[in-house]
Amino acid sequence: MGSIAKIIAQRLALGVLTLLIVSFVIFVSVNALPGDFAQAIMGQGATEEAVTAMRKDLGLDQPYFQRYFSWLGNIITGDLGISFAQMNFASNLGGDQLISVADQIYPRFINTMWLAGFAALIAVPLSLTIGVLAALYRNSMFDRIANIGALTSISSPEFFIAYILVLFLAVLNPVFLPVAEVTPGITLGERLYFLALPALTLTLVVTAHMMRMTRASIINLLASPYIEMARLKGVSPMRVIVKHALPNALAPIINVIALNLAYLITGVVVVEVVFTYPGIGQLFVDSVINRDIPVIQACVMIFASAYILLNLTADILTILSNPKLRHPK
């Protein structure tokens, strides 16, 4: 048990180190964008004195590494700062009511989690079921159709799938709305109805990967001696796969599920833009357009943290599901 705890501690330490490296890459990349951010906020008609004062207010006049460590320290304490766009908006109105980056991101992040959770709730059971059935009826018509559908889904970009669904399910057959108009105070049923098309788009994208990995992992185990022994005992094919093959194929399946769950959170940008869904992906795109550095950095850090956290979870679950790691010699 001590060795498992040691492995988990090593994975956690590696995750923290990875997140620190990613934070530096994010900071360097965002601040390397061309142009003067203070000038972009103030506009072309601003005087040099006003731009200089804005740079001082934003902290852009400080040394590079000092700004990085100051930003990193604020991130660790939960202070994501004030967005440049909000600062400029308040200054134009002559007021001081500023909305923090955290307050801007929180409702958008909740919306994104609703979308990702709804898609995952459909995609994970669906992909496991299709993968098991495709392995059980290998080389059958069902298996061929499932593989053709998976390859088609993998080969199609998200925006193409989204527009096809909008065409057939919102324009030609108005079953759902083409725009996900989620507002505060809506009921659960209304929210799920508005999320139907975005969630279906994400489901079609991620189900193919998980289904193919489930199928391949189970088929690789079907030639194992213990599977042959179970067959010789007269165990039914479905029971052989579900009880004997599937538990031993969990490690690669867990990894691919974690990667696709991470994609559901970090890869929603295109889907949210297509459906004008008020999530963190849409906020990220709007912030890039407005050159809002604090919001951009916060959004990317959330994406990176979610990706790293889900991969760490997959590593830990793989360790716990593998008897060789649970009981090392």
Q: Clarify whether residues 125 and 224 are in a common domain.
A: yes
Tell me whether residue 100 is in a domain.
Answer: no
In this prediction, what percent of the chain has a pLDDT beyond 90? Answer: 2
Q: Clarify whether residues 112 and 136 are in a common domain.
A: yes
Q: Clarify whether residues 149 and 6 are in a common domain.
A: no
* Whole-prediction pTM: 0.81
Picking from 118-132, 275-289, 305-319, which range would have the lowest pLDDT averaged per residue? 305-319
Q: Clarify whether residues 313 and 169 are in a common domain.
A: yes
Tell me whether residue 168 is in a domain.
Answer: yes
Q: Clarify whether residues 189 and 114 are in a common domain.
A: yes
Domain stops at, among 38, 73, 93: 93
In the prediction, which pLDDT does 239 show?
Answer: 81
pLDDT at 316 over 60: yes
Tell me whether residue 52 is in a domain.
Answer: yes
pLDDT in tens, 93-106: 444 556 778 888 88
Tell me whether residue 98 is in a domain.
Answer: no
Structure tokens at 200: 């279906």
In the prediction, which pLDDT does 96 show?
Answer: 52
Q: Clarify whether residues 50 and 157 are in a common domain.
A: no
Please tell me the distance from the alpha carbon of residue 132 to that of residue 211, in angstroms, as a whole number. 8
**Residue in 304, 322, 300 with CA at minimum distance from that of residue 312:** 304
Comparing 214 with 244, the larger pLDDT belongs to 214
Tell me whether residue 235 is in a domain.
Answer: yes
By the 10 Å C-beta count (0-12 exposed, 13-18 middle, 19+ buried), 115 is classed as: buried
pLDDT at 80 over 70: yes
Tell me whether residue 197 is in a domain.
Answer: yes
pLDDT in tens, 94-141: 445 567 788 888 888 888 899 988 999 999 899 988 988 888 888 889
Q: Clarify whether residues 67 and 155 are in a common domain.
A: no
Please tell me the distance from the alpha carbon of residue 258 to that of residue 204, in angstroms, as a whole number. 16
pLDDT at 90 over 60: no
Mean pLDDT of 23-28: 85
Mean pLDDT of 149-167: 87
* Three-state SS sequence of 291-305: CCHHHHHHHHHHHHH
pLDDT in tens, 195-221: 889 999 989 888 888 888 888 888 887
Q: Clarify whether residues 76 and 221 are in a common domain.
A: no
Q: Clarify whether residues 66 and 208 are in a common domain.
A: no
> The domain that contains 276 carries what CATH number?
1.10.3720.10
Q: Clarify whether residues 34 and 129 are in a common domain.
A: no
Domain stops at, among 38, 61, 93: 93
CB 26, CB 297: distance < 8 Å:
yes
| Domain residue limits at 163 | 105-326
Q: How many domains does the chain have?
A: 2
In the prediction, which pLDDT does 324 show?
Answer: 60
In the prediction, which pLDDT does 93 show?
Answer: 46
Q: Clarify whether residues 54 and 157 are in a common domain.
A: no
Tell me whether residue 115 is in a domain.
Answer: yes
Structure tokens at 260: 């696709």
